Every structure is written in structure tokens, then in C-alpha cells.
Structure 1
């Protein structure tokens, strides 16, 4: 004889409960269901239909069993969610970036081609991000299931101070001074030279940069100055300013890496004297070149990220 719907429902509910509580839950459920079905039949409802409606109203047996066992039906609950989220964001900012730079630098130092450098660096960074997300989440799932605490308790002392976004007068002056020094250094390097070797001043940048490529760099620097003035006048970052900052950073990186890749960024006479007089061999020159490229990309990348972070912060104010 086949089991009734009620018997099947009760069995599905209690089978995942601890053995010591199964009989109590079975008896409680049977009595509750019987009372509900009886109330419906007394109102003239068909017994079979009444039983089906009562069981449907109770819902999924697994959900009901989780309620009896006080077992969460979510991966992370509100107790640990914010801690998990804060930690995961910090780790995803740091670990994949370090992996990207580290692998890219190591591949560049061993002389790998550009495609290999990009592929290995991006692949490692993506793998690192996946591992960070998985293992961090797994740790908090274990904490959630075991009822353990993270040791983090909020207090009013944790309230953050309002952060400036670099739009004050001091920030404007600092930006214009730095950009002015850059223009002065370009002029000095062009007219006299920034490095003195063997009693002679030598330019650092390739003499053939002027007038075309040198003028492009001057335009980028002047555009940075205009952006700083506009930012100060507006008093806050906006999406448009963040886009301009990104475009200028990309323009500078493209300018620098295009010339560097073609051997037209640095003064070849200076490099030759560094090899002969300074005793810097080809391997050391290659390492210095890699460090220069990584520095250019890192500084420009940070400038882009900083602009978008400040834009988001100002949008919330």
C-alpha cells in the first residue's frame, strides 16, 4: 500500500533532522496537518483536496526541516556578510594586481615577447582573483555553518572621517607646481641637458622628439593643468573629468611606450655612454628598461583608478 501524501511529506521533512528529534517532529507535524485538514473538511472541502492544500501551504519539506534544525539556507548571512565583503574587496584590489605586475615583470626580465607577457600576466591575475574569491568565501561559509565569530565588532570609533577628493586650493597649487616643473625639465633637457657625464651636459630624451613628439607631450601636460583648474573650479569630481583623466593617462602611456618600443624615447648617446663609461651591460640595460616601462604603466594606471574612485566618492556626497 502506497504512503499517503501526509506520510510522504513528514518523511521528507524529518529525514535530514538529527535522529533524537525526528520522532518529536514527526508527531508534531502529523497532529498539525491532521488538525488543518479536519478544519477544512468540516467546511465541506473534499478530504483529498484539503490534504493537498494544507501540505502545499506548508511549503518545501527541506525548508521546513531547516527551520526545525535552525539551519541557514543561505551561503552567508547578515552576521558575516559585511566582513566578508570588505575583506574580499581589499584582497581583490591587492592580490591580482601584485600577481599581474610580478608575473609581467618576471616575463619581461627573461626577454619574453609582448604577447606572452600580457597573456601570462592577465592569466595569472585572473587565476589569483578566482582563488581569492573562492577561498575567502569558503572560510566565511565555514564560519557561518559552525557559528564561529570573526572577532570584528563595530563601534562608533570605526566611523570614518570625511575624505577629501583633491579639489582644494592646495591640491590645485601642488598640481600646477608639479606640472610646471615637468615643463621646465623638458625645456632644460631640450636646451641644455639634464645629465652631466664626462664634463658635458646631455639630454635624457631623444633629440628627434622635437618638434612633433615633444610638442605632443607638452600638450598632454598642459591638458593636465587645464583639468586641474577645472576640477578646482567645480569643487568635485565628475564622470566627465574621470574620463578626461583616463584619456590623458592612456595618451601619455601610448606616447611613452610607442617611442620606447621604437628606440626613440631616450637619448642614444646617453645610453651608449652608460654602457661604456658606466659599465652597464646589456642585461642590466634591459632590466632598467623593464622597470621604466612598469613605472610608466603603474603611475598612469594609479592616476586613472584614483580619478574614478574620487568620482564615485563625490557622487555619494
Structure 2
């Protein structure tokens, strides 16, 4: 695909489907009229530079533009929106159901209790779905306005040139959609647990009356200090997932953004794990009682567990940074390309 075809193809992405072909033909004719008879690649580069960014040119053709999510993103927006709504609803429903099972009352079989459970499940699934839909839409609006997919560096003031055109797709550097969806599920589960139901992360000890005694792992009040940071990190991760879903291929800017995210995640985890007040003291006491050992020994076990978990997080994040950068730099699409 030559430079002219890539330019026209990119312009068409931003147009409604019903006018894409007509605009493509007209634009091709206009470009040919602007070129000399025996044109060179430099002539093409100059003409395309004069025409400007494909997105801005598409806006001139699409005079009836009235949309929140433009044609270039709409199909993928709807596809991802359905997936995220389903994931968020399922996660919210699952967490609520697990919490109810672990704390099920003795009269759980009574109609009133079951009715309350069903109402709570529906409510949690609805809230989860709406939260997912809201944030996906926000991220797509940001991507729509910054033009990340077509090669603009977000928030960077620069003049568009044909060098910013998307490169030809390279299947070797294609992002696995299944991997992206799986990572998205894990992020949503992790965030939902900490934000909506941190009390589910607990030790459950069945009492003499059959009702379990719940001792939360985390100090819920202390956890609230970190909730804003957790939400911000999760939203950044969601944005990266959506970016991957749209772009479909890795690029250097994406790899650098992922690396920055991983570093931020490591910092957040290290700070949280180093906070001695984040672990519930009652959890340590209960653990010592169950294992028939001293509180100091149980505390040592918890500290060791925190170190192992922290080391695991660091290793996974560093591995992800290295693998992503190496794969991107080895690819013709990623090497030296900030698109």
C-alpha cells in the first residue's frame, strides 16, 4: 500500500460508511491533480503535508458530523462496550454471590431471603455494567479527541506530516485480543474487590452456630487512603486495554505508556505492602489462633507473604516491560515509530 492509499484509507476511517467510497474517489482525484505529471515520492509527501491530517480533512468532508464516538472508533466501541458490560456485570454479580454464600444466614432458603438476594444480585450487576459502560465511553471519547490510533502523540503539539500515517499492518506484531480481554477481566476483578467489596478478602471461620466469623485481611479504613490511586491506576490500565483493542498492533508509544503504567503499579504496590497499618491486626491474631502459634510468628508469616507477593508483582511487571519493548522494537511497525 503506497503513501497515497494509506492517506486515503486513513481519511475514510473517520467518515460515515455511506460516504467513504465517494470521498475516497474524489480525494484520490484531487491528489492526482495536485501532483506533477512525473511525480516522485517527495512530491507525494509535500502534497499530503499540504492537505494536512486525515482526521481534519475528514471533518471537512463530513459537514453533518454529530457524534460522541466517531466512525473510526464506533464499531470497536460497540464491540468492546458489550464485552466490558458483560464482564463488569458478571464480576459484580459473582462477588456479591460469593459474599452472600460465605455469609449465608441459617434461614437462607426462606422466600424473603432469596428475594433479597436476587434483588441485590440484579442491583450489583446493573451498577457494575453502568460503571463499565461509563468508563469505556470516557476513554473512547479521549481517544477520539486525541487521535491516538492514527499516530498522533497525545497532548503533544506538533504539525502533522505523512510520517504520522499508520504503517502497514504487521501480523507478527498483532496484539492478542484474548490476552487483552483476559487482562481486562483481571483488572476489573482486582479493582472491584478493593473498591466495592474489600471485606470479601478475609478469613472465614465457621462458628458453633454454623454462621462463619469473618476477619478481613485488610484494614478497610486504612485502605480508603489508597482507593483514589487504585482507581486512577485501574483507569489508566483500562485506557491501555482499549487502546490495544483499537490499534490491534503494538507501537513504540504504546510500549512506553505500558512501561510507565507498570512502573506506577509497582510503586503503588510497594507503598501499600510497606504500610504496616494496611493489614488488619485481628487477621493476624485469628491466624495465630487457628494455627496454634504466637502472634509474632503469625505476623512474620504475613510479612513473608507480603514480600513474596511484592517480588512476584515486580518480576511480572519488569518481564512485561522488557517483553513489550523488545517485541515492539523488533517490529518494523514499532521501531522508531511513535504512532
Structure with the higher helix share, 1 or 2: 1
Bigger relative contact order (CA 8 A; separation at least 6): 2
Q: Which structure: larger Rg?
A: 1
Do they superpose with TM above 0.5? no
